Structure 1
Amino acid sequence: MQPRFADAVAFEWIKMRSIRSTWWTLAAAACISIGIGMIGGREALPQDTTAFVMEKILVGLSLGQMAICVFGVLTATSEYGTGSIRSTFTAVPDRLRLLAAKALVVFTVSLVAGTAIVFATFAAGTLTLGSGVPVPSLSEDAVLRALVGGGCYLALLGVFSLALGLVLRASAGGITAAVSITFILPTVFHMLGDALLKWWPTQAGRQILQVSPSSTDLAPVPGLCYFAVTTVVALVVAMVLTNRRDA
């Protein structure tokens, strides 16, 4: 009897929560984002706008997101490294069902953890603001959108990194590719003033964190939607390749 999709989801969740790297990478994302956010809050000045204060508080997410990349990649590659992927495919022969379940678990864990990290970073950062510095409020639609959207962005990033891991099937290569795509290349494009930056998927997705959107980038919600479409395409490609390859 073929395992149901719910069985595959339960199977993936049990594996994920039993791997220590899952909790270490998520803890690293939290510590980096919150720690740098507190420093950014302390550096905010009374003459800063609310949007600039938010940017300083959430600056740590630029580095914290790399831990989410590691989490997504390792979810795919750890089984290839140990050879347990063969047992996984034996337990759930329908690879597409298995990979869909894996993606759902990664998305859910990244969404819950990412949203918690973003809100914790915001709370910690606002506590460190000096006297006279404008305090961003959750009652402001743009602030709440940035925080909720930030959790969604990290969830999509986890799945995007999972897709890279499935394609490359090697932890070192997958992590290098994910970090390069998410952090290094956008930084290079920004330094060069390259117009490609506007349409770079992760850069477009990160616009959801901006309280005051940039005129040179995609708008926050369309940018996140664009990244979501890119993530789905990457996942479909990864699933097709995995289904055709030998374990």
Structure 2
Amino acid sequence: MRHVLPAEWLKLHSVRSSRLAILLALGGVLLGFGIAQMAVGMYDSASPAQQARARIAELEEVVLIVPQLSLGILGVLAMTSEYATGLIRTSLTVVPRRWPVLTAKAAVVGVIGLVTGPVVVFGTHLVCRWVIGDRFSGLYQAPFSGKLPLLVALSLTVPVFALLGLGLGTILRSTAGGITLLVGLVYVIPMIVGNLPGPWNEWLGSVMISALARQISGDLTTPGLYGTSLPPPMAAVLLACYAVLPVLAGLWLLQRRDA
């Protein structure tokens, strides 16, 4: 295992698409900065009555789609690129037990997600505190300690997306299929669920991956698009399942299929 891990890091690091995915993920901070600047410009040009009613979403949650999707695609490519080039045969010949290959890939993409997530989430939050200041009813003037649980929970969704992508890529062995299913699971299905009649929209919305961070942190003061019926421990377990179960399913199939 100690030889497989550096090899998987080298393979991922040497692929241009991997570096591009990471840079795109980090670009979420720049996106948050740009949105904050536009919001401030609109706020400052508004009348006092309009300013009193003005509201803005928490931008670290808005831009989170960028690192989530970027790292999810990185996870898909970590496996499907080897199938596309035929390198998977070499990898499984050198490591015939197979499980160390996927475990090492999971460790690499998971660590990248654990680093990238907090950089984007905390970076965007700090940038917005600086740019927005006391505008929008002081949304970004709240004590940082009060927002810390939500920021940590949002950050953890990024490595979950990376592992979810890796699991889907291993199951499907297709880049297009893995990315399509990833987008469908986390963005298309929640939109469908949100349009269901109650209480189904609340129940099913609560288990959507995008709903879990706020339920884990207990920060339910801001109205959201999803349900909020899960207690924090159950939401945390479900978030972990989004990461672990696809990888385990991929491992089961990897050990039973031909390369």
In structure 1, the partner of 2:151 is 147
Residues 80, 174 of structure 2: 8 Å contact kept: yes
CA distance in 1, matches of 2:133, 2:5: 46
TM-aligned CA distance change 1:34 to 1:144, over 3 Å:
farther
Larger radius of gyration: 2
Say which SS state the counterpart of residue 17 (structure 2) adopts.
helix
1:180 counterpart (178, 184, 206): 184
CA distance in 1, matches of 2:125, 2:238: 25
In structure 2, the partner of 1:121 is 124
Q: So what's the TM-score if we normalise by structure 1?
A: 0.85
In structure 1, the partner of 2:204 is 196
Aligned residue pair count: 239
TM-aligned CA distance change 1:132 to 1:227, over 3 Å:
closer
State the Cα distance separating 1:56 from its structure 2 match. Answer: 3.5
State the Cα deviation string for residues 81-108 of structure 1 (Å, max 9, x = none). 1111111112222211211111111111
Q: Which moved further from structure 2: 8-17 or 126-135?
A: 126-135
Say which SS state the counterpart of residue 128 (structure 1) adopts.
helix
State the Cα deviation string for residues 215-244 of structure 1 (Å, max 9, x = none). 942345542331102321221111000110
In structure 2, the partner of 1:223 is 235
Residues 163, 234 of structure 1: 8 Å contact kept: yes
In structure 2, the partner of 1:109 is 112
CA distance in 1, matches of 2:38, 2:179: 32
Give matches, 1:71-110, under 5 Å: 71-110=74-113
Give 5+ residue unaligned stretches, structure 2: 44-50
State the Cα distance separating 1:111 from its structure 2 match. Answer: 0.7
Look up the equivalent residue of 2:145 and give its one-letter code. Answer: E
In structure 2, the partner of 1:156 is 160
State the Cα distance separating 1:58 from its structure 2 match. Answer: 2.5
1:246 counterpart (240, 244, 258): 258
CA distance in 1, matches of 2:132, 2:233: 28
Give 5+ residue unaligned stretches, structure 1: none
State the Cα deviation string for residues 11-66 of structure 1 (Å, max 9, x = none). 111111111111111211222454145415753766589xx756234311134421
TM-aligned CA distance change 1:84 to 1:183, over 3 Å:
same
In structure 2, the partner of 1:26 is 22
Q: Which moved further from structure 2: 184-193 or 104-113?
A: 184-193
State the Cα deviation string for residues 204-223 of structure 1 (Å, max 9, x = none). 43435774356942345542
TM-aligned CA distance change 1:136 to 1:107, over 3 Å:
farther
Say which SS state the counterpart of residue 132 (structure 2) adopts.
coil
State the Cα distance separating 1:138 from its structure 2 match. Answer: 5.9
Residues 55, 210 of structure 1: 8 Å contact kept: no
Look up the equivalent residue of 1:67 and give its one-letter code. Answer: S
State the Cα deviation string for residues 128-164 of structure 1 (Å, max 9, x = none). 21554412456323x1112222221111111011000
TM-aligned CA distance change 1:54 to 1:146, over 3 Å:
farther
Q: So what's the TM-score if we normalise by structure 2?
A: 0.81
